Amino acid sequence: MASEAHRGSCLCGAVRYRVAGALEPVIACHCTQCRRQTGHFLASTNVAVADLAIEGEESVRWYRSSDVAERGFCRTCGSVLFWHRPGSDRIAIAMGGFETPTGVVIGAHIFAADKGDYYEIGGDAPIHAGDD
């Protein structure tokens, strides 16, 4: 994992962000909500909210998808950007928007029991049926 700042954006560039410091290993979430939002599964890293700077924050639209989570996306192009548990000091950021190289790899698969029937999970990362 690199220790420099990491930058990213949505597809149209209305939302740009910078993360200070290292990125955590990627979590691949195969839950039904992530699959429906992204069209596949959500690959994201988790960072401290204090380490995230967002330009164009007025273009981020938040959707409260459950009792425990809200999802942020670009209101212009629809890019999936963030997953956040209200009140938490941590936020997940979708890996697809980061400029490369990021220096991280998939660290775990979660909610594998909910994965789509059209693919298999491969690689060496641990696979968890739920979020445990």
Identify the residue whose tokens are 């190289």: 101
| Model pTM score | 0.92
Residue 105 domain flag: yes
Ramachandran region of residue 51, left (φ > 0), alpha (ψ -120 to 50) or beta? alpha
Residue 123 domain flag: no
β pairing state of 106-110 and 26-29 = parallel
The identity of residue 120, as a single letter, is E
Query: What is the per-residue pLDDT for 126?
Result: 97
Beta carbons within 8 Å of 44's beta carbon, 6+ residues apart: 26, 27, 29, 83, 92, 93, 94, 95
Residue 128 domain flag: no
The per-residue pLDDT for range 76-113, each reduced to its tens digit, is 999 999 999 999 999 999 999 999 899 999 999 999 99
Q: By residue range, what is the domain housing residue 29?
A: 6-114
Query: What is the per-residue pLDDT for 2?
Result: 41
**Total count of domains within the chain:** 1
Residue 61 domain flag: yes
Q: Provide the CATH number for the domain around residue 78.
A: 2.170.150.70
Residue 129 domain flag: no
Query: What is the per-residue pLDDT for 131?
Result: 85
Q: Which residues of the chain register pLDDT less than 70? A: 1-3
Residue 126 domain flag: no
